[in-house]
Structure 1
């Protein structure tokens, strides 16, 4: 798609308002037709993601745009662009803040380099809550207020952020050889992002933080020995199975992340209230549809990797999982030395302690039922 603003058949809200005085003068003379036509022209909106054009998450972003356009009756016309079209994959926050793009679709850990607290909103310590649990924390447990404090007050950004699709726990990732213990991963050059980099560095790995589109080339050049990105579909689409054959699912390094929708605040607040509402409430609505699509695609593509890609799928060993929890225990006090980060972690702990108690107590043993009806399937 074209990364330039559309100028034919669409106007930006801001350009429309700048012309308001002229239009008002025409209306005063009785010539009402031109302003009426102008007011009905669609508002051109530029939205960029942090994902390659081929990634399933780019499709998720396009689905959000399509639903917004339909609900707005065509008054909002969103051009969805992949990573690099206007700014780099890790610079989406900057692009939205500077008004180069109106909406961004990314994850907060991608701007971890600007403020370490960003990682607490998706890739921080796991206290036992799932990604769905933590999405609920954002909307009902005080998370959104803490996020606004970070972005708007501490960092002084001209952005509004909302959370969408809660991602399933991310795989430990792709390895050329089997890794069953902490000793097996020690010294490996490994790609991850955010606080997970600090975590795994403390466990003896040498960590590089790379955008998704750079992972396979880095693996081919020997810059990294192993990596994680996010899920079977994204991993398969960029060719993870071509550079490694051991795929480890389940990990505590990034157990509860969610999509971040970033809106330039000036752009957003300049819109009519009904258009603001459409943009806002389409975000949590997209979480349900993205989750359904993810379960469908991720599960199907995992089978493709197993049956056609020559990939051996493992669950990460209890030895490595226990070591990850121990490493979080060592890292948390360092994070809590920052007053703001301690308040975020305290809020998350209190939420997980109460909510996950209910979730775990209320949930039957689904594995027992699965093994009953599909015996032997889990013994890969």
Structure 2
């Protein structure tokens, strides 16, 4: 039995146990009683970007419900580890979590498609795939064995390529590079000679400072500045080939969600949908300001990957993604759906957004 199979079966068992209590609870609660939930997250408390988003979702649920429902947030490490969110929600330790799907690549490889894919969909394109192109149904199917309902709940926008202690001038500079990069981007770099290192957000700065890693990616300028990476690395590369989108996910214990009255179910889901749009606009605004500060006050050197590096990254990304077509039936269907979304949306994005930006810049 594989680790992935064991994890799925274990989660199924935990989900059944959680379902019994969660479904029974509403019948024991008076109509005017307050429903208290727990949310666990993968982020430090109030971390600019996803940490702020997680707290706002909790606050919005309480406000929209008129105080009938409260969600208490536990930041990474307070109740469960940063990378323990999925198991905690599946097992009923918390009814809700806020995290990113690429953290679950070891349990279900295709989960990475629901955060970002190298050279994949942009934030608006990704949202369109989820909402209009069948992405949500596939996401639900993928997480169903864990007894979890996933939804979009925040977006940190287009990501930067990462912080490096030394310049990247050619593909040769990737050889032996120790870099924190989760998701498929890490696998792409591994195939090009780098060594991807898996680290939760709260451990990245110390690892970069101490030399455990030579480089790291995280999010965009706003969140990265708050993490302090500019203090130990001065080369800030773009584009974020590995994460052209930054979807955060809310995870719901399905039994607990189904056990809520219909109006409260609608409130918690709409709270996430509202935050998805608000967080993206906030990230765009704050990233612009933080990028200027990093360059003008912190002396950060913004660089662009050389053309041969991008070409190598693009080639290996295609090979990595192609593996999903034959991995297993569900992964294959997710890959095909995502590829179909790119094929449909990319020509329109080139005609509309890409051409307009070039025209606006006079390029």
TM-score (norm 2): 0.88
Which residue, 135, 142, 151 being the options, matches 2:134? 142
Q: Equivalent residue of 1:261, what SS? A: strand
2:357 is the alignment partner of 1:366: yes
Report the CA distance shift for 1:13/1:97 in structure 2 as closer, same or farther (over 3 A).
closer
Which residue, 253, 258, 261 being the options, matches 2:247? 258
User: How far apart are 1:54 and its partner, in Å?
Assistant: 4.3
Q: Do 2:95 and 2:253's aligned partners in 1 also have CA atoms closer than 8 Å? A: yes
Q: Tell me the equivalent position of 2:304.
A: 315
Q: Do 2:97 and 2:252's aligned partners in 1 also have CA atoms closer than 8 Å? A: yes
Alignment partners' CA distance in 1, 2:153 and 2:132? 14
2:167 is the alignment partner of 1:178: yes
332-341 or 259-268: which moved more? 332-341
Q: Tell me the equivalent position of 2:68.
A: 75
User: How far apart are 1:359 and its partner, in Å?
Assistant: 2.4
Q: Tell me the equivalent position of 1:52.
A: 44
Q: Do 2:116 and 2:247's aligned partners in 1 also have CA atoms closer than 8 Å? A: no
Q: Tell me the equivalent position of 2:319.
A: 330
Alignment partners' CA distance in 2, 1:134 and 1:159? 21
Alignment partners' CA distance in 2, 1:345 and 1:125? 13
Q: Tell me the equivalent position of 1:356.
A: 346
Q: Equivalent residue of 1:164, what SS? A: strand
User: How far apart are 1:13 and its partner, in Å?
Assistant: 7.5
Alignment partners' CA distance in 1, 2:108 and 2:39? 23
Q: Do 2:230 and 2:298's aligned partners in 1 also have CA atoms closer than 8 Å? A: yes
User: How far apart are 1:316 and its partner, in Å?
Assistant: 2.4
Q: Equivalent residue of 1:83, what SS? A: coil
User: How far apart are 1:95 and its partner, in Å?
Assistant: 0.7
Alignment partners' CA distance in 2, 1:13 and 1:275? 14
Alignment partners' CA distance in 2, 1:18 and 1:122? 36
Higher relative contact order, chain-length normalized (CA < 8 Å, sep 6+): 2
User: How far apart are 1:85 and its partner, in Å?
Assistant: 1.4
Q: Do 1:251 and 1:321's aligned partners in 2 also have CA atoms closer than 8 Å? A: no
Query: Which structure has the larger Rg over C-alpha atoms?
Result: 1
Report the CA distance shift for 1:354/1:15 in structure 2 as closer, same or farther (over 3 A).
closer
Q: Tell me the equivalent position of 1:268.
A: 257
**Where do residues 125-140 of structure 1 align in structure 2 (5 Å cutoff)?**
125-127=118-120, 129-140=121-132
User: How far apart are 1:219 and its partner, in Å?
Assistant: 1.5
Report the CA distance shift for 1:171/1:254 in structure 2 as closer, same or farther (over 3 A).
same
**Where do residues 83-94 of structure 1 align in structure 2 (5 Å cutoff)?**
83-94=76-87
User: How far apart are 1:243 and its partner, in Å?
Assistant: 1.1
Alignment partners' CA distance in 2, 1:97 and 1:235? 30
User: How far apart are 1:174 and its partner, in Å?
Assistant: 0.5
Alignment partners' CA distance in 2, 1:333 and 1:352? 14
CA-atom RMSD, angstroms? 1.9
Show CA shifts across 1:259-291 (max 9, x none): 111011111111100000111122221111111
Q: Equivalent residue of 1:39, what SS? A: coil
User: Tell me, which stretches of 5 or more residues in structure 2 are unaligned?
Assistant: 1-20
Alignment partners' CA distance in 2, 1:178 and 1:261? 37
Report the CA distance shift for 1:348/1:13 in structure 2 as closer, same or farther (over 3 A).
closer
Which residue, 94, 97, 104 being the options, matches 1:111? 104
**Structure that is richer in helix per residue:** 2
Q: Tell me the equivalent position of 1:4.
A: none
User: How far apart are 1:371 and its partner, in Å?
Assistant: 5.3
Which residue, 300, 303, 314 being the options, matches 2:289? 300
User: How far apart are 1:125 and its partner, in Å?
Assistant: 4.2
Alignment partners' CA distance in 2, 1:233 and 1:15? 43
Alignment partners' CA distance in 2, 1:125 and 1:337? 19
229-238 or 116-125: which moved more? 116-125
Q: Equivalent residue of 2:321, what SS? A: helix
User: How far apart are 1:200 and its partner, in Å?
Assistant: 0.8
Alignment partners' CA distance in 2, 1:17 and 1:286? 26
For these two proteins, the number of residue pairs brought into alignment is 340
Q: Equivalent residue of 2:312, what SS? A: helix
